[in-house]
Chain A
């Protein structure tokens, strides 16, 4: 089984990249206190815009730029709805996901005169990187990738550094963890949240463009096929921490790619479908068990309260 070959890792990087972009955006939003699950819709918006503009202009990079701009504008729906008007972010996000699905299908007919799939000959896709050619490991890992794949990896590191090592990152975390405290220190909570949601939109635009001009060179109705929800699972699993988000996305990508290879020796397709969610469950249960064991070693009362939070009697309630 060719699980640990460089080609396998390269395949995982390719399939994970769109998910990683979206998940990073959602993680930043989570740290700023905005629950962003409109990833499926934003990825689809980016994927469609990238293909349409690449077709019209003949330039894949123009497609990427347009995808970033359009998806940022689209994410303004969440910024306005959930931040300015204090609507339930889940409801806004579900609306955005449905809107993107219907609207991209509609515009596919109206603007590109196609239904279902748009993959004409001559549609410009993103070029493969060639700067790593000849370098042993990097060449094999990144040789067949677009520039956006290493960019996604770098952005995960950059997001982590930004959150943990800069003052704006600290303020953003403050806005998410204790908005009143942040506001009392003169930090504009809504401004930080607006900017973060729009930034997540830009990241989703990159993710969508990578999907439709990098992974393949085509647009298909609903081509995101649940990748936005896999990204949501990755964000949950990683508790909004960018480097862990990167790990979770690669884990999901590896589970999927490994599943494809195991299908060849008889693993049912339905099990490959469930792979990312099975991995999430396993990791969540495992991490929970570890927390409990650690707490039991330190403090028996804390262990009980971790296992049975309903059994804990708070002093102020007994009064």
Chain B
């Protein structure tokens, strides 16, 4: 038996912990003292700290990323800490706190950490950083980037929606109107239009004070789309999706999930999911950095199996998704997938330039 060094998964950033400690009149951070050292006196192979832009729970993308970090930590015998941020200020503080603990790699998740990763690495040239799902411009030498071509998979979902829509109206509920989030919105419409030019797509953006966690607003917007007759709707609003899935469950429309298999969120009403295999990308990049290949910028698309659809997975029949009943549609989607990979079809990237 190999001795696997103990990993401490601390599910809150030092900032949040300190705040709580103050609030509750406690005196010390709960478990920061116990995170050093492996079991049985064995030296740890190394350590990584993962910093999230939002709370992990309810956020499929972050849950999958942390899963990937846990997997690679297990495999390599690394210590793992997770610092969860709640807002832009705590992101910056968490990045600085992570650097002070001097792990082998400081891992940042999502484009929200792009600003912090543009500046902090310059002040800490000996520290290695990895940003998954984004890249600062210009990219500092000690920052490795892993990003995705989500628009390729969103386009495929659009193809499905175009083929399946009966009302010829589709829609998207997205969190914010930013070029990055447009990577789901615009290709979904373009994919649908590519198979049926009469299909129109209506994008709605949750916005407000808490766009990634306002289920009531997400539901109100989903209801607007349902009332307007949209029958295929992509839900790309993170924590606000909970409310939007309630409209799908009530029969308002058939939904498409994002990042992971969300077909259980509204059983019998979810067609497919725009997958992003962030766990694969994160584990791969961490391995690369530990092997000494730092500073790269790897982009994962359909060809690299970094993005995809549940429909294209081997286990689609047991996925609980509606698309499993339509092998004819899956066949057409596979053809488009091949065309994107070999370059006959190009998907415009809304976040480019």
By a beta-carbon cutoff of 8 Å, the part of chain A in contact with chain B is 2, 7, 11, 14-15, 18, 99, 102-103, 105-106, 108-109, 114-119, 211, 215-218, 220-223, 225-226, 229, 256-257, 260-261, 263-264, 268-270, 272-273
Identity of the chain A residue whose Cβ is nearest the Cβ of B176 in the assembled complex: A269
A11 and B20 form a contact (CB under 8 A): no
Q: Any chain A CB within 8 A of the CB of B112? A: no
A221 to B209 CA separation, bound complex (whole angstroms): 12
9 new A-B contacts at CB < 8 Å, known A117-B59, A257-B224, A264-B225:
A11-B224, A115-B58, A118-B58, A119-B58, A215-B215, A226-B208, A260-B220, A264-B203, A264-B204
Identity of the chain B residue whose Cβ is nearest the Cβ of A257 in the assembled complex: B220
Tell me the B216-271 residues at the A interface (CB within 8 Å): 216-217, 219-221, 223-225, 227-228, 239-240, 242-243, 246
A222 to B220 CA separation, bound complex (whole angstroms): 17
CB-based closest 8 A-B pairs: A117-B58, A115-B57, A226-B209, A116-B57, A116-B58, A225-B210, A269-B205, A116-B55
A-B contact pairs, 23 of them (CB 8 A): A11-B220, A11-B224, A99-B23, A102-B19, A102-B23, A103-B23, A115-B55, A115-B57, A118-B57, A216-B215, A216-B243, A220-B240, A223-B215, A223-B216, A225-B216, A226-B208, A256-B220, A260-B220, A260-B221, A260-B224, A264-B228, A269-B177, A272-B207
B177 and A115 form a contact (CB under 8 A): no
A117 to B19 CA separation, bound complex (whole angstroms): 21
Q: Cβ of B219: which chain A residues have Cβ within 8 Å of it?
A: 215-216
Answer whether A270 and B177 are a contact pair too, CB < 8 Å, given A220-B215, A221-B55. Answer: yes
* Minimum C-beta distance from A271 to chain B (A): 9
Identity of the chain B residue whose Cβ is nearest the Cβ of A103 in the assembled complex: B23
Q: Cβ of B133: which chain A residues have Cβ within 8 Å of it?
A: none
* Minimum C-beta distance from B17 to chain A (A): 10
Identity of the chain A residue whose Cβ is nearest the Cβ of B58 in the assembled complex: A117
Answer whether A216 and B213 are a contact pair too, CB < 8 Å, given A115-B55, A117-B242, A260-B221. Answer: no
A171 to B117 CA separation, bound complex (whole angstroms): 59
Q: Any chain A CB within 8 A of the CB of B11? A: yes
* Total number of B residues with any Cβ neighbor in A under 8 Å: 43
Q: Cβ of A211: which chain B residues have Cβ within 8 Å of it?
A: 216
Q: Cβ of A218: which chain B residues have Cβ within 8 Å of it?
A: 215, 242-243
* Minimum C-beta distance from B85 to chain A (A): 12
By a beta-carbon cutoff of 8 Å, the part of chain B in contact with chain A is 11-12, 16, 19-20, 23, 54-59, 84, 86, 171, 176-177, 202-205, 207-210, 213-217, 219-221, 223-225, 227-228, 239-240, 242-243, 246
Q: Cβ of A264: which chain B residues have Cβ within 8 Å of it?
A: 171, 202-204, 224-225, 228
A117 to B242 CA separation, bound complex (whole angstroms): 8
A117 to B227 CA separation, bound complex (whole angstroms): 26
Answer whether A225 and B209 are a contact pair too, CB < 8 Å, given A115-B56, A220-B242. Answer: yes
A263 to B201 CA separation, bound complex (whole angstroms): 12
* Minimum C-beta distance from B43 to chain A (A): 32
Q: Cβ of B23: which chain A residues have Cβ within 8 Å of it?
A: 99, 102-103
Answer whether A222 and B213 are a contact pair too, CB < 8 Å, given A102-B19, A106-B20. Answer: yes
A105 to B55 CA separation, bound complex (whole angstroms): 9
Answer whether A225 and B223 are a contact pair too, CB < 8 Å, given A15-B216, A117-B242, A211-B216. Answer: no
Q: Cβ of B11: which chain A residues have Cβ within 8 Å of it?
A: 109, 115
A273 and B204 form a contact (CB under 8 A): no
Q: Cβ of A269: which chain B residues have Cβ within 8 Å of it?
A: 176-177, 205, 207
A109 to B20 CA separation, bound complex (whole angstroms): 13
Q: Cβ of B16: which chain A residues have Cβ within 8 Å of it?
A: 102, 105
B177 and A2 form a contact (CB under 8 A): no
Answer whether A225 and B224 are a contact pair too, CB < 8 Å, given A220-B239, A220-B242, A272-B207. Answer: no
Q: Cβ of A215: which chain B residues have Cβ within 8 Å of it?
A: 215-216, 219-220, 243
B242 CB contact (under 8 Å) in A11, A115, A119: A119
Answer whether A221 and B242 are a contact pair too, CB < 8 Å, given A116-B55, A273-B207. Answer: no
